Amino acid sequence: MKKIALGVLMFTISFTASAQQEDVKMIKSIFDTELTQGQSYEMLDYLTNSIGARLSGSPQAAAAVEWSKQVMESYGFDRVYLQEVMVPHWIRGEREQARVLNSPKHGRVELNVRALGNSVGTGSDGVLAEVIEVKAISELEKLGKKALENKIVFFNRPMDQTKITTFSAYGGAVDQRVFGASEAAKYGAKAVIVRSVGTVADDYPHTGTLIYDEKQPKIPAVAVSVKDADVLTEILKDTPQVQLYIETHCEMLPDVLSYNVIGELTGSEKPDEIIVISGHLDSWDLGTGAHDDGAGCVQAIEGLRIFKELGYKPKRTIRAVMYMNEENGLRGGKKYAEVAKEKGENHIAALESDSGGFSPRGFRMTGNDNDLKKVRSWQPLFEPYGIYDFDKPGGGADIGPLEDQGTLLIGLMPDSQRYFAYHHTDNDTFDKVNKRELELGAAGMAALVYMIDKYGL
């Protein structure tokens, strides 16, 4: 009996070692293939430089849908299809203006501003009012209607530069951009100007979505560059009752029909178990959406292309999903989850890249303890490629709606130090993306999907 038990143990050890060597070899093949024959960089070049910025509802967003469908078809994926989704259609209009008018020391000062996404416009008459500076939304209640009525509120809380993970700093500052306009409107403010949520003191304003409280008046909102936010602060020290003029021409048009784009490799053994690898196809109208999120889209497509290139036949169905409208509505992610629930689909894992095309450092994950433990046990296989952090919670905005279906949510976690120099700005362009870093991220995502496909959850 002891001899049988020992034999079983030795067989198990031998089998485990053999399987691990097989995984090491496969993961190396994925990275080698991407780093020598990858097409993610070329795809991103076309998406950003030939199609350009892809705000939901725009002709460029429609072109991106058709492009991604054609690309995935050209790679011979088993199935490529469109999923209808109605999306908001916000337009920026003429270039925004903002200027200080009555500073004795500084004179007339032009400020670099951009309207926040979904904001109403001022129209050609603009808004002229005294500026009140605050560091946090909580200060509004203390000031009250008497101090804020008919004023322009200047939200000026910077990102916390002491936080090493810049996404944590972003989370600590972004509430003023998202909710500041409606919070200020409660007290009768006429408009808001928000310090850009960025890490670099430059002249590029960072746009981004705001969310209006339908119970409050909708007032115009703009972001001011970090550099000019500091200028405005200095002016207010010298002239506390300074007058600011803001003019914007943005507006929200009726919803438009658009699409999520889905490419699929059908599973050979368990086709009903689905693994998603994804990014969002839309971008802001500033820059060309290279890091946010053209990079994530081409990395997702590339994952399936690598499997085809290597002749790998997945056990489970693997889908590359290009979501539409992450930036100012999240309609694509919500629609995908809604359809999946209606069809009773079983998504065992969903992986998203939406943090830039920089060197991958790890994966953020949210799920049950058993799934997390299993994926984290694979960490040693990724460490030779600089991917070492499997401990942080997270996932992604577009895959978030799948959480209530028990799906393991995973977000690619690249190095974060440069992302908020480009995020939501005119500076988010193809030339800011490093080819090798982009490819490492694509290979890392494909390697993780391979492990999930092979061993399941």
Q: Which residues are catalytic?
A: 326
Q: Give phi and psi for 108, each to the nearest 5.
A: -85, 125
| Residue 408 CB burial class (10 angstroms; 0-12, 13-18, ≥19) | buried
CA distance 433 to 442: 13
Enumerate the β-bridge partners of residue 319. 264, 276
Q: 285 preceded by cis ω (within 30°)? A: no
Please answer whether residues 254 and 142 qualify as being in contact, where contact means their C-beta atoms are separated by less than 8 angstroms.
no
CA distance 388 to 383: 5
Residues sharing a CB contact under 8 Å with residue 370, sequence separation 6 or more, in sequence order: 457
Q: N- to C-terminal Cα distance for the chain?
A: 33
Contacts of 142-149 with C-beta under 8 Å, sequence gap 24+, read 143/187, 144/187, 145/187, 145/188, 147/187, 148/184, 148/187, 148/188, 148/189, 149/187, 149/188, 149/189
Please answer whether residues 361 and 386 qualify as being in contact, where contact means their C-beta atoms are separated by less than 8 angstroms.
yes
Name the token pair of 228: 């000019």
CA distance 449 to 304: 10
